[in-house]
Amino acid sequence: MKAFQVVLVLLGLFVAGTGLLEVVLGPSVLLPGSPRPEPTLDSNYRFFAAMWLAIGVALLSVVPRVREATTVLRFVSAAVFVGGLARIASWLAVGQPHALMLVLLAIELIVPPVLVLWQRRLAA
């Protein structure tokens, strides 16, 4: 159980930290090529960065009650997984993104199911 909690803390801090950076500094802080989006795109990006921040906080909230927090962990995992599917939709609609986005896509499609299965085993 401790290993799972450590993984959740690391993921939660990473997600919350990058979300906070993106809310405060906008897309130029973490996106490859430091794009300068027009105001509407910047606004939308920062909004979704706040959702990313909230996902990180939700992951951290699971840490002290790993066995009981099934609903929260599954919801967060589903949100991240669906985000990965949205990246695929973007790729199909407008073309292949930067290689960093492909790495994130792989993480978004692999890590959530692993977390759900791992937590299920711990809760049993």
- Domain residue spans in the chain? 2-123
pLDDT score for 98:
92
* pLDDT tens per residue across span 69-97: 999 999 999 999 999 999 999 999 999 99
pLDDT score for 33:
76
pLDDT score for 4:
97
- Please identify every stretch of the chain with a pLDDT value under 50, giving residue numbers as ranges: none
Q: Which structure tokens are listed for 55?
A: 């996902």
Cα(91)–Cα(93) distance, integer angstroms: 6
**97 closest CA partner among 87, 83, 111:** 87
Cα(59)–Cα(56) distance, integer angstroms: 5
**17 closest CA partner among 42, 54, 47:** 54
pLDDT score for 124:
87
Question: Helix (H) and strand (E) counts for the chain?
Answer: 4, 0
pLDDT score for 36:
80
Task: Return the axis-axis angle of helices 99-123 and 70-94, rounded to nearest 10°.
Answer: 160
User: The whole model's pTM is what?
Assistant: 0.91
